[in-house]
Amino acid sequence: YAFDAAIVREPAPSVVNGLRAEDRGDPSFDGILAEHAAYVQALRDAGVEVTVLPALADYPDAIFIEDPALVFTEGAVLLRPGAASRLGEAGEILPTLRDQFGQVFDLPQPGFAEGGDVLTTRDAVLIGMSARTDRAGAEGLVQTLAVLGRRARIVETPKGVLHFKTDCSLLDEESILMTHRLEGTGMFPGHRAVVVPAGEEAAANALRVNDVVFVGSDYPRTIEMLDNLGYKVVPLKTTEIGKIDAGLSCMSLRW
Ligand code: CIR
Protein backbone atom coordinates (compact mmCIF):
# COMPACT_ATOMS: atom_id res chain seq x y z
CA TYR A 1 0.00 0.00 0.00
CA ALA A 2 3.05 2.27 -0.29
CA PHE A 3 2.43 3.89 -3.66
CA ASP A 4 4.33 6.59 -5.56
CA ALA A 5 2.35 6.49 -8.78
CA ALA A 6 -1.10 5.74 -10.14
CA ILE A 7 -2.99 5.74 -13.42
CA VAL A 8 -6.63 6.78 -13.64
CA ARG A 9 -8.99 7.32 -16.57
CA GLU A 10 -11.42 10.21 -17.00
CA PRO A 11 -15.07 9.13 -17.07
CA ALA A 12 -16.85 9.40 -20.44
CA PRO A 13 -20.54 10.44 -20.53
CA SER A 14 -21.27 6.81 -21.52
CA VAL A 15 -20.24 5.76 -17.98
CA VAL A 16 -23.91 6.12 -16.98
CA ASN A 17 -24.50 2.95 -19.08
CA GLY A 18 -21.90 1.00 -17.09
CA LEU A 19 -22.54 -2.65 -16.26
CA ARG A 20 -24.50 -3.45 -13.12
CA ALA A 21 -25.92 -6.59 -11.58
CA GLU A 22 -29.09 -4.92 -10.38
CA ASP A 23 -30.77 -1.80 -11.71
CA ARG A 24 -30.98 0.91 -9.07
CA GLY A 25 -31.33 3.68 -11.69
CA ASP A 26 -28.63 5.28 -13.82
CA PRO A 27 -25.93 7.20 -11.99
CA SER A 28 -25.65 10.90 -12.79
CA PHE A 29 -22.71 11.82 -15.02
CA ASP A 30 -21.99 15.00 -13.05
CA GLY A 31 -22.07 12.99 -9.85
CA ILE A 32 -19.55 10.50 -11.22
CA LEU A 33 -17.29 13.32 -12.44
CA ALA A 34 -17.33 14.84 -8.96
CA GLU A 35 -16.63 11.50 -7.23
CA HIS A 36 -13.80 10.79 -9.65
CA ALA A 37 -12.26 14.25 -9.25
CA ALA A 38 -12.33 13.95 -5.45
CA TYR A 39 -10.69 10.52 -5.70
CA VAL A 40 -7.87 11.83 -7.91
CA GLN A 41 -7.32 14.72 -5.51
CA ALA A 42 -7.24 12.31 -2.54
CA LEU A 43 -4.57 10.21 -4.31
CA ARG A 44 -2.48 13.35 -4.88
CA ASP A 45 -3.00 14.48 -1.27
CA ALA A 46 -1.72 11.05 -0.18
CA GLY A 47 1.53 11.71 -2.05
CA VAL A 48 0.83 9.80 -5.26
CA GLU A 49 1.78 11.09 -8.71
CA VAL A 50 -1.31 10.53 -10.85
CA THR A 51 -1.35 10.05 -14.63
CA VAL A 52 -4.81 10.85 -16.00
CA LEU A 53 -5.75 9.06 -19.23
CA PRO A 54 -8.46 10.42 -21.55
CA ALA A 55 -12.04 9.14 -21.44
CA LEU A 56 -13.03 6.28 -23.76
CA ALA A 57 -16.58 6.81 -25.00
CA ASP A 58 -16.80 3.29 -26.48
CA TYR A 59 -16.13 1.62 -23.14
CA PRO A 60 -18.62 2.78 -20.48
CA ASP A 61 -16.73 0.95 -17.70
CA ALA A 62 -13.22 2.10 -18.72
CA ILE A 63 -13.06 4.47 -15.72
CA PHE A 64 -12.59 1.27 -13.66
CA ILE A 65 -9.01 1.01 -14.87
CA GLU A 66 -8.02 -1.49 -12.20
CA ASP A 67 -9.70 -4.30 -14.13
CA PRO A 68 -7.79 -4.63 -17.45
CA ALA A 69 -4.28 -4.66 -15.92
CA LEU A 70 -2.26 -5.53 -12.85
CA VAL A 71 0.77 -3.48 -11.87
CA PHE A 72 3.74 -3.79 -9.53
CA THR A 73 6.90 -1.72 -9.28
CA GLU A 74 8.75 -4.52 -11.08
CA GLY A 75 6.37 -4.82 -14.02
CA ALA A 76 2.81 -4.96 -15.35
CA VAL A 77 0.46 -7.68 -16.56
CA LEU A 78 -2.08 -7.01 -19.30
CA LEU A 79 -5.24 -8.89 -18.29
CA ARG A 80 -8.30 -10.04 -20.27
CA PRO A 81 -11.53 -8.79 -18.71
CA GLY A 82 -14.21 -11.47 -18.48
CA ALA A 83 -16.99 -9.00 -19.31
CA ALA A 84 -17.33 -9.01 -23.12
CA SER A 85 -18.02 -5.27 -23.27
CA ARG A 86 -14.77 -4.61 -21.36
CA LEU A 87 -12.38 -6.87 -23.28
CA GLY A 88 -11.20 -4.03 -25.55
CA GLU A 89 -10.11 -1.94 -22.57
CA ALA A 90 -6.93 -4.01 -22.35
CA GLY A 91 -5.66 -2.88 -25.77
CA GLU A 92 -6.45 0.71 -24.83
CA ILE A 93 -4.21 0.67 -21.78
CA LEU A 94 -1.31 -1.26 -23.32
CA PRO A 95 0.61 1.78 -24.71
CA THR A 96 0.54 3.42 -21.27
CA LEU A 97 1.80 0.25 -19.60
CA ARG A 98 4.63 0.03 -22.14
CA ASP A 99 5.52 3.66 -21.39
CA GLN A 100 5.55 3.28 -17.64
CA PHE A 101 6.90 -0.23 -17.01
CA GLY A 102 10.13 -1.96 -17.99
CA GLN A 103 8.33 -5.24 -18.58
CA VAL A 104 4.72 -5.91 -19.59
CA PHE A 105 3.44 -9.49 -19.65
CA ASP A 106 0.34 -10.78 -21.39
CA LEU A 107 -2.01 -13.04 -19.47
CA PRO A 108 -1.43 -16.41 -21.17
CA GLN A 109 -4.26 -17.80 -23.34
CA PRO A 110 -6.91 -19.06 -22.70
CA GLY A 111 -8.92 -17.58 -19.87
CA PHE A 112 -10.03 -14.30 -18.38
CA ALA A 113 -9.01 -12.29 -15.33
CA GLU A 114 -9.93 -8.85 -14.01
CA GLY A 115 -7.84 -6.78 -11.61
CA GLY A 116 -10.78 -6.37 -9.22
CA ASP A 117 -10.29 -10.04 -8.37
CA VAL A 118 -6.67 -9.58 -7.30
CA LEU A 119 -5.61 -8.63 -3.77
CA THR A 120 -1.89 -8.18 -3.12
CA THR A 121 -1.02 -9.06 0.48
CA ARG A 122 2.30 -9.28 2.30
CA ASP A 123 2.82 -13.01 1.63
CA ALA A 124 0.94 -13.69 -1.58
CA VAL A 125 -1.18 -12.31 -4.36
CA LEU A 126 -4.71 -13.67 -3.93
CA ILE A 127 -6.71 -14.28 -7.11
CA GLY A 128 -10.43 -14.75 -6.60
CA MET A 129 -12.27 -16.79 -9.19
CA SER A 130 -15.52 -15.05 -10.08
CA ALA A 131 -17.92 -14.53 -12.97
CA ARG A 132 -15.11 -12.36 -14.48
CA THR A 133 -12.03 -14.43 -13.61
CA ASP A 134 -12.16 -18.08 -14.62
CA ARG A 135 -9.88 -20.93 -13.59
CA ALA A 136 -7.76 -20.75 -16.78
CA GLY A 137 -7.30 -17.01 -16.29
CA ALA A 138 -6.44 -17.42 -12.62
CA GLU A 139 -3.93 -20.20 -13.38
CA GLY A 140 -2.37 -18.19 -16.21
CA LEU A 141 -1.99 -15.27 -13.83
CA VAL A 142 -0.30 -17.46 -11.21
CA GLN A 143 2.30 -18.48 -13.84
CA THR A 144 2.88 -14.90 -14.95
CA LEU A 145 3.22 -13.70 -11.39
CA ALA A 146 5.82 -16.40 -10.75
CA VAL A 147 7.93 -14.88 -13.53
CA LEU A 148 7.61 -11.55 -11.73
CA GLY A 149 8.82 -13.28 -8.55
CA ARG A 150 5.41 -13.14 -6.84
CA ARG A 151 3.75 -16.01 -5.06
CA ALA A 152 0.04 -16.28 -5.86
CA ARG A 153 -2.88 -18.30 -4.56
CA ILE A 154 -6.27 -18.95 -6.15
CA VAL A 155 -9.32 -18.47 -3.93
CA GLU A 156 -13.10 -18.25 -4.47
CA THR A 157 -15.01 -15.00 -4.68
CA PRO A 158 -18.32 -15.51 -2.82
CA LYS A 159 -21.24 -16.31 -5.19
CA GLY A 160 -23.13 -13.28 -6.42
CA VAL A 161 -20.25 -10.92 -5.55
CA LEU A 162 -18.81 -9.06 -8.56
CA HIS A 163 -15.11 -9.14 -7.68
CA PHE A 164 -13.01 -10.65 -4.90
CA LYS A 165 -12.05 -7.14 -3.77
CA THR A 166 -15.69 -6.07 -3.67
CA ASP A 167 -15.55 -7.92 -0.35
CA CYS A 168 -12.07 -7.18 1.00
CA SER A 169 -9.17 -4.76 1.03
CA LEU A 170 -5.79 -4.41 2.64
CA LEU A 171 -5.60 -2.13 5.70
CA ASP A 172 -1.95 -2.77 6.53
CA GLU A 173 0.57 -5.62 6.43
CA GLU A 174 -1.37 -7.58 9.03
CA SER A 175 -4.96 -6.50 8.64
CA ILE A 176 -7.60 -7.08 6.00
CA LEU A 177 -10.96 -5.33 5.95
CA MET A 178 -13.59 -7.85 4.88
CA THR A 179 -17.24 -8.75 4.85
CA HIS A 180 -18.61 -11.21 7.34
CA ARG A 181 -18.98 -13.82 4.58
CA LEU A 182 -15.19 -13.89 4.02
CA GLU A 183 -14.34 -14.14 7.70
CA GLY A 184 -13.58 -17.69 8.71
CA THR A 185 -13.00 -18.92 5.14
CA GLY A 186 -9.31 -19.44 5.96
CA MET A 187 -8.33 -17.42 2.90
CA PHE A 188 -6.14 -15.05 4.87
CA PRO A 189 -3.87 -17.12 7.10
CA GLY A 190 -1.75 -15.02 9.44
CA HIS A 191 -3.85 -11.91 8.94
CA ARG A 192 -6.12 -10.06 11.31
CA ALA A 193 -9.70 -9.84 10.02
CA VAL A 194 -11.42 -6.48 10.46
CA VAL A 195 -15.07 -7.11 9.61
CA VAL A 196 -17.35 -4.38 8.24
CA PRO A 197 -20.56 -3.85 10.21
CA ALA A 198 -23.64 -5.68 8.88
CA GLY A 199 -25.49 -3.54 6.35
CA GLU A 200 -22.25 -1.83 5.23
CA GLU A 201 -20.84 -4.70 3.15
CA ALA A 202 -19.97 -2.38 0.24
CA ALA A 203 -17.55 -0.54 2.55
CA ALA A 204 -15.21 -3.55 2.33
CA ASN A 205 -13.86 -2.19 -0.96
CA ALA A 206 -11.72 0.43 0.77
CA LEU A 207 -8.26 1.50 -0.36
CA ARG A 208 -5.14 1.94 1.74
CA VAL A 209 -2.82 4.50 0.15
CA ASN A 210 0.35 5.38 2.07
CA ASP A 211 -0.76 6.82 5.45
CA VAL A 212 -4.48 6.92 4.81
CA VAL A 213 -7.41 4.63 4.07
CA PHE A 214 -10.07 5.75 1.58
CA VAL A 215 -13.51 4.58 2.71
CA GLY A 216 -16.92 5.25 1.13
CA SER A 217 -18.55 8.17 2.94
CA ASP A 218 -21.91 6.37 2.88
CA TYR A 219 -20.60 3.94 5.52
CA PRO A 220 -20.38 5.86 8.81
CA ARG A 221 -20.13 2.79 11.06
CA THR A 222 -17.15 1.44 9.11
CA ILE A 223 -15.50 4.85 9.23
CA GLU A 224 -16.02 5.05 12.98
CA MET A 225 -14.69 1.52 13.48
CA LEU A 226 -11.52 2.19 11.47
CA ASP A 227 -11.06 5.53 13.17
CA ASN A 228 -11.26 3.81 16.57
CA LEU A 229 -8.67 1.29 15.39
CA GLY A 230 -6.30 4.18 14.70
CA TYR A 231 -6.47 4.39 10.91
CA LYS A 232 -6.45 7.81 9.23
CA VAL A 233 -9.66 7.58 7.22
CA VAL A 234 -10.37 9.73 4.17
CA PRO A 235 -14.11 9.41 3.45
CA LEU A 236 -14.91 9.62 -0.26
CA LYS A 237 -18.31 9.67 -1.91
CA THR A 238 -19.10 6.52 -3.91
CA THR A 239 -22.88 6.95 -4.18
CA GLU A 240 -23.01 7.30 -7.98
CA ILE A 241 -20.27 4.82 -8.93
CA GLY A 242 -21.89 2.44 -6.44
CA LYS A 243 -24.93 2.30 -8.77
CA ILE A 244 -22.67 0.60 -11.34
CA ASP A 245 -21.15 -1.77 -8.78
CA ALA A 246 -17.90 0.10 -8.25
CA GLY A 247 -15.96 1.11 -5.16
CA LEU A 248 -12.64 2.73 -4.35
CA SER A 249 -9.97 0.31 -5.56
CA CYS A 250 -11.33 0.06 -9.09
CA MET A 251 -10.68 3.66 -10.20
CA SER A 252 -6.87 3.41 -10.22
CA LEU A 253 -3.84 1.24 -10.93
CA ARG A 254 -1.24 1.88 -8.24
CA TRP A 255 2.40 1.00 -7.72
C1 CIR B 1 -18.28 -3.67 -14.03
O2 CIR B 1 -19.29 -4.33 -13.80
O3 CIR B 1 -17.29 -4.14 -14.60
C4 CIR B 1 -18.26 -2.21 -13.59
N5 CIR B 1 -19.57 -1.67 -13.69
C6 CIR B 1 -17.73 -2.07 -12.17
C7 CIR B 1 -16.30 -2.52 -12.04
C8 CIR B 1 -15.75 -2.33 -10.67
N9 CIR B 1 -14.40 -2.75 -10.65
C10 CIR B 1 -13.74 -3.11 -9.57
O11 CIR B 1 -14.30 -3.12 -8.48
N12 CIR B 1 -12.48 -3.45 -9.70
Site to substitute for ligand 1 among 64, 244, 251, 253, most atoms within 8 A of C-beta = 64
From 163, 168, 180, 191, the catalytic residue = 163
Domain that holds residue 216: 5-254
Cβ atoms < 10 Å from Cβ of 198: 9
Please name the residue whose Cα sits nearest to atom 2 of ligand 1: 19
* CA of residue 178 to ligand 1 center, whole Å: 18
- What is the value of ipTM here, to two decimals? 0.98
19 among annotated binding-site residues: yes
Residue 240 CB partners (closer than 8 Å, separation 6+)? 27, 28, 31, 32, 35
Q: Can you tell me the distance from the alpha carbon of 213 to that of 43, in angstroms, rounded to the nearest whole number?
A: 10
Q: What single string gives the DSSP state of each residue in 92-113?
A: HHHHHHHHH-S-EEEPPSS--B
> Active-site residue 191, yes or no?
no
- As a three-state string, the secondary structure of the chain is CCCCEEEEECCCHHHHHCCCCCCCCCCCHHHHHHHHHHHHHHHHHCCCEEEEECCCCCCCCCCCCCCCEEEECCEEEECECCCHHHCCHHHHHHHHHHHHCCCEEECCCCCCECHHHEEECCCCEEEEECCCCCHHHHHHHHHHHHHCCCCEEEEECCCCCCCHHHCEEECCCCEEEECHHHCCCCCCCCCEEEECCCCCHHHHCCEEECCEEEEECCCHHHHHHHHHCCCEEEEECCHHHHCCCCCCCCCCEEC
183 among annotated binding-site residues: no
Number of domains in the chain: 1
Supply the CATH number for residue 229's domain. 3.75.10.10
The confidence score (pLDDT) of residue 184 equals 86
| Ligand 1 neighbours (beta carbon < 6 A) | 18-20, 61, 64, 66-67, 83, 86, 116, 162-163, 166, 244-247, 249-250
Whether omega before 110 lies within 30 degrees of 0, making that bond cis, reads yes
Nearest to 76 by CA among 161, 133, 150, 131: 150
pLDDT tens for the chain, 255 residues long, are: 999 999 999 999 999 999 999 999 999 999 999 999 999 999 999 999 999 999 999 999 999 999 999 999 999 999 999 999 999 999 999 999 999 999 999 999 999 999 999 999 999 999 999 999 999 999 999 999 999 999 999 999 999 999 999 999 999 999 999 999 999 899 999 999 999 999 999 999 999 999 999 999 999 999 999 999 999 999 999 999 999 999 999 999 999
State which ligand 1 atom lies nearest to the alpha carbon of 162: 2
pTM of the prediction? 0.98
